[in-house]
Amino acid sequence: MDSYLDEREKWEALLAWLRTNGPAMFAGVAIAALGLGGYRFWQAHLNGRDLAASALYAQMQSEFAQSAQAQAFATAGTLERRYGSTPYADQARLASAAAFVESGHLSRGAAELTAVMQHPHDPLLGMIARLRLARVQIALHQPQLALTTLAGVNPGAFAPRFDVVRGDAYAALGHKREALEAYRLAHASNTGGGTGSQLLALEISELEANLPAKPAQAGAAPSGK
């Protein structure tokens, strides 16, 4: 009997605990289950969004390749409206900028590149946009603005390319010494060689050959007798 009473007391204690704590416990389990389900739903949503954005981007690329620029720009606009929070929107802007520049519409290309540079969804694409924008600004006869575009950021692996474009901007301004210094930095960082490195070496040699010698610094005044 005593054993029975002990078991019964334990059972009643368990029931009392469940009455007190059960709702919170079950609510916690339910919230955890909902959270897991919500996470899976959100991941499925993101995957579906990325697939749809990717399909539009592929369509836009195909249209550009077929010289159907009007259709390609329209597709790019649709991609940006529907999936503007994805890196595919940045890539669409970069492709549109390239098409504008190739067709001579430099200002429109610069506007697309500026949008990506200022609000990138992928830092790498933002750095590419900054570099291309500086090149377009040089082509627009705005080399000083190009130097501003390149300043104030850490280019990381893009440093040699930044130095080349910075050298181009200085050359456009007529600042040959600064241009030579930038080209030398780029050439020293370019360990891969190749055609680009050879052309850069030629550019450096040409600048060195045509650069006027620095004026000799005045020495100390003679001490007299």
- Residue pLDDT, tens place only, 133-173: 999 999 999 999 999 999 989 999 899 999 999 999 999 99
User: Which residue, 164, 99, 177, is CA-closest to 138?
Assistant: 164
Q: What's the rounded Cα separation, in Å, for the pair 120 and 98?
A: 17
- Tell me, yes or no, whether 158 lies in a domain: yes
Residue 39's pLDDT band (cuts 50, 70, 90): very low
For residue 167, tell me if it sits in a domain: yes
Q: Which domain holds residue 114?
A: 68-142
pLDDT at 117: 96
Give CA–CA dist 190/184, Å, rounded.
10
For residue 10, being part of any structural domain is answered with: no
> What does the pLDDT read at residue 225?
45
| Domain final residue, candidates 142, 176, 200 | 142
Kindly state the percentage of the chain with pLDDT values over 70: 70
Domain count, the chain: 2
Instruction: Report CA-CA distances (Å) from 39 to 29, 42, 148.
Output: 15, 5, 43
Q: Identify whether residues 180 and 201 lie together within a single domain.
A: yes
Q: What is the CA radius of gyration of the chain?
A: 32
Side-chain-facing half-sphere of 126: CA atoms under 13 Å = 12
Task: Select from 111, 142, 173 the last residue of a domain.
Answer: 142
Q: What is the dihedral of CA 71, 77, 79, 81, to 10 degrees?
A: -150
At 15, the pLDDT band (50, 70, 90 cuts) reads low
**For the chain, percent helix, then strand, then coil, each to nearest 5?**
80, 0, 20
Q: What is the dihedral of CA 127, 130, 131, 136, to 10 degrees?
A: 160
Domain end point (choices 116, 142, 168): 142
Q: Residue 225 carries which side chain, given as an amino acid letter?
A: K
Query: What predicted TM-score, i.e. pTM, was given to this entire model?
Result: 0.71
Are 197 and 171 part of one and the same domain?
Answer: yes
pLDDT attached to residue 8 = 57
Q: How confident is the model at residue 3 (pLDDT cuts 50, 70, 90)?
A: very low
